[in-house]
Amino acid sequence: MSPDGDIIDCVHKRKQPALDHPLLKDHKIQRVPPERPKFMMEQKMRNYSSSSDGGRGAWQTWHRTGHCPKGTVPVRRTTVDDVLRAKSLYHFGRKQRRLPVATSSVDAPDVVSGNGHEHAIAYTGGTQEVYGAKATINVWDPSIQVVNEFSLSQIWVLSGSFDGSDLNSIEAGWQTNNKIAIGAAISPVSSISSEQFDITILIWKDPRKGNWWLGFGDNTLVGYWPAELFTHLADHATMVEFGGEIVNTRSDGAHTSTQMGSGHFADDGFGKSSYFRNLEVVDSDNSLSSVESISTLAENTNCYNIKSSSNAEWGTHFYYGGPGNNPKCP
């Protein structure tokens, strides 16, 4: 039992629910993890004692009361509230089909737009071959107006048809109301004008077996997405997106007050605005390189916005977020 009320079941690795997927009927669990991607140049050690350099690391709340034994997988127990947040039992646990935002650019990001989903994201070009991505993400606990809305901050690794008809995506980050047991709460979280906390997420493709791995922090391996699940991502990704997403249901006829990030706009900066820093991608030789050029997108900058920059300590980075409903976002 986690201090926040979550129940974590320690499930034998061969009985984990993921293996019930029909495409994984004959899947053999990869016991030896692949080599983690290394930065092409030895990175300068960062001293985080100064608030201008970054935030402290956050981890999972349930670890305060215990850990799962070797050979098992931590699985957060589904609650009634989890099911009620879905539109129906049919939609529970399903990803919504992604539809592209209206734009004339061939390198436009693939996002769910027009169904109440709003974003503030940075994205790479859609023509390069990408084998993973890494970023450090500021952790907050944004407020949600109604139960079936959400606010998330994550990395999307994408490949396929960007009209949404045949797209593979891998996504990892943090989300309010689906708080790795996967789905369990991350703590501590940041506070306005106070101590900042962040997490580092790494997604990369095993060059030998083709599985896509998820790393957390410097040394923790969460697990992997088996290669059998993918068509386009069986080879490589073509785009990476970083940033925030919310759902605006307009439940009372006005724009939702669900917050993105910290609930502050990007211009408020460190300690108030949420950030992604040290954006990196994995190349074909399993090496990490800094993202040198990004584009940004926010559908309604009066509700949520994004502002990118670059420096020696944080590399390519950006602030993003917003409060949602306000006088300029009715």
Residue 99 has pLDDT above 50, yes or no: no
35 is catalytic: no
Quick one: pLDDT at residue 218?
A: 85
The answer to whether residue 101 scores a pLDDT higher than 60 is no
Main-chain dihedrals φ then ψ at residue 64, nearest 5 degrees: -70, -25
Nearest of 152, 157, 159 to residue 173 by alpha carbon: 152
Cα first-last separation, the chain: 41
Residues of the chain above pLDDT 90, percent: 54
Alpha-carbon gap, residue 109 to 298, rounded angstroms: 11
Higher pLDDT, 96 or 241: 241
Cβ-proximal residues to 64 (8 Å cutoff; 6+ apart), any chain: 2, 3
pLDDT at residue number 77: 86
DSSP H or E run through 74: strand 72-76
What pLDDT score was predicted for residue 44? 37
Catalytic: which of 118, 149, 245, 280? Answer: 245
pLDDT at 85: 64
The larger pLDDT score, comparing residue 43 to residue 272, is at: 272
Q: Which of 149, 171, 228, 299 is catalytic?
A: 171
Q: What is the DSSP string of 192-250?
A: TTS--EEEEEEEEE-TTT-PEEEEETTTEEEEEE-GGG-SGGGT-BSEEEEEEEEE---
- When mean pLDDT is compared over 91-105, 106-120, 179-193, 209-223, the highest value belongs to 209-223
pLDDT tens figures, 124-137: 986 789 999 999 99
Check whether 43 has a pLDDT greater than 50.
no
**Mean pLDDT for the chain?**
84
Half-sphere exposure in the Cβ direction for 34 (13 Å, CA): 22
Instruction: State pLDDT tens for residues 170-212.
Output: 998 888 754 444 556 678 899 999 999 999 999 999 999 999 9
Of the pLDDT bands very low, low, confident and very high (cuts 50, 70, 90), residue 57 is low
Percent of the chain that is helix, strand, coil (3-state, to 5)? 10, 35, 55
Burial state string for 132-162 with b = 16 or more CB within 10 A and e = fewer than 16: bbbbbbbbbbbebbeeebbbbbbbbbbbbeb
Is 245 marked active-site?
yes
State the pLDDT confidence band at 106, using cuts at 50, 70 and 90: very low
Query: At 269, which amino acid appears?
Result: G
52 falls in which pLDDT band (50, 70, 90)? very low
Among 81-85, 156-160, 211-215, 320-324, the least confident range: 81-85
